Amino acid sequence: MKYILIPIMFFASFSSLNAQVVISEVMYDIEGSDTGREWVEIENTGDSVDISTWKFFENGTNHGLTLIQGNATLSSSDVAIISDNPDKFLIDWPSFSGNLFDSSFSLKNTGELIAIRDADLNDIDSLTYDIELGAGEDGNSLQLILSVWSAALPTPGLANSGSGGGEESEQEEESSESSSSSSSSTNNFPVEQQIFADAGGDRNVVVGADTLFEGESLGLKMQPLDNARYTWNFGNGETKEGQNVLYYYGYPGEYVVTLSISSGQYSASDRIIVNAYPAELAVSKVQEDFVEIHNKSNRELNLSWWQLEAEGKRFMVPKDTIILSGKKLIFSSDVTGLNTHTNDASLLYPNGVEAVSFEQIKIPQKTVATKTITAQPIITKADPPQKEALKEPQENTIQTASVISSINNQDKESSMFKWLLAIFSIIVVSAGAIVFIGKSKKELSDEIEIID
């Protein structure tokens, strides 16, 4: 008996080390808005282990773990919560005081593959959940109870519902003993076997520019499917078949793209959101040794497979060439091989259709500008009509005319008093002149003697 127990104890130790941390509870679809409120519970079923450098795998991404409270080293039977937003988690569960980690992720409500990985990205435990398992916006979470995934009231940091002592605890021990010979840590759950589709993540695209849509599928054993049929529905009435397809939108908008796959009697689907924006690009400068492209939009743009053209020759922009929002990108002639000394260059969509071309601003030669200007007439009030002065040989008459001329040249804004004064002066002068003339005639007549 002694020789039998040693191998059994060694094997049991190996098994616990191999499957020491398991995913024990998943809250993927909370009632109401679930943004930032999703979380995953993990449990250490083996020896103490530090998980500070581990990763949470979701949506094709390895998310890092940041300790918020508690201890990053999990002792045997310890549990920890991996939360999308720890602040919101603590609002929902204010009495929680256990180990809490922050990790940026967003669980799909329709289901997906998630995993906990070590620092070397080895899968420690994984789970592919599906809405058919339950816990879809009904207030429940998915919980591993007696090695079976079930929907039950959430118990973050506590023993899962229905996993307590008594007869159920004995059954759990028996189940644990019966599965000790298995070296795999992947959880099993009693659901119909199915395949899974992955359309990638949401994205922003440019209207008129081809975008590569890449699909993936997983089989019953989570292996890639080789002969699956892929059908893409681009949300605008158009469809295409193929695992990887190029497609462009002709109009701006927000589209729901659905990928459907089928393999034999099995089928699955996934969907993403695609925002199509108009191209706000310009060929801003063309010199003999480079071409400059300007992104005038407030979003970064991916120029994968766009083309530069000059003098009938083309250069294809490499995949994942990014131009930041509001920035300019220079393509050297040494790289493109284009001859741009004629200042003739165009930017083409991936399908070869011209998007924008360079328009050189020509500076006109200096010329004398001519412009017909119609001058506004200067309107002045005409002087009051003057009666023509009688030409008199006498000096007094000339003086009278001079007075009249002087009065006429005075400011037209003069008061009525000045006019009356002038008229009065004329009358006085005229009367004096008449008296003077009469006196002169009398003196002249007195001096004349009549000689017989």
* Residue-wise pLDDT tens digits, 95-138: 899 999 999 898 988 889 999 999 999 999 999 998 888 888 78
Q: Which of 16-25, 112-121, 314-323 has the lowest mean pLDDT?
A: 16-25
- Sorting pLDDT into bands at 50, 70 and 90, what band is 367? very low
Among 125-134, 284-293, 390-399, name the one with the lowest average pLDDT. 390-399
Contact at 8 Å (CB) between 207 and 276?
yes
Q: What is the pLDDT of residue 70?
A: 93
Lowest mean pLDDT among 82-96, 192-206, 436-450: 436-450
- Identical fold between 12-178 and 196-277: yes
244 pLDDT higher than 60: yes
Give the Å distances, CA to CA, from 146 to 128, 135, 164, 168, 188.
18, 18, 10, 8, 11
In the chain, the percentage of residues whose pLDDT exceeds 90 is 29
Hey, what long-range contacts does 384-393 have (CB within 8 A, 24 or more apart)? 384/408, 392/433
pLDDT in tens, 171-185: 444 444 444 443 344
State the fold for domain 196-277: Immunoglobulin-like (2.60.40)
Q: Is the per-residue pLDDT at 352 higher than 70?
A: yes
Q: Read off the pLDDT of each residue in 278-289 and give the average, rounded to a whole number.
A: 86
**Whether residue 41 has pLDDT greater than 90:** yes
Could you tell me the residue ranges of all domains in the chain?
Answer: 12-178, 196-277, 281-357
Highest mean pLDDT among 14-28, 186-200, 308-322, 367-381: 308-322
Please tell me what DSSP assigns to residue 387: P
Tell which CATH architecture fits domain 281-357: Sandwich (2.60)
- Give pLDDT, residue 161: 59
Q: What is the DSSP string of 202-233?
A: -EEEETTS-EEEE-EEE-TTSPBPSS-EEEEE
CA atoms within 13 A on the CB side of 13: 6
Residue 393 confidence (pLDDT) above 50: no
CATH of 12-178, one of 2.60.40.1260, 3.40.50.300, 3.20.20.70, 1.10.490.10: 2.60.40.1260
Asked if pLDDT for residue 158 goes beyond 80, the answer is yes
Pairing mode of beta strands 21-27, 141-145: antiparallel
Asked if residue 143 has pLDDT above 80, the reply is: yes
Rounded to an integer, the average pLDDT of 219-238 is 87
Query: Could you tell me which residue, 112 or 224, shows the higher pLDDT?
Result: 112
Are β-strands 39-44 and 21-27 bridged in parallel, bridged antiparallel, or unpaired? antiparallel
* pLDDT tops 90 at residue 257: yes
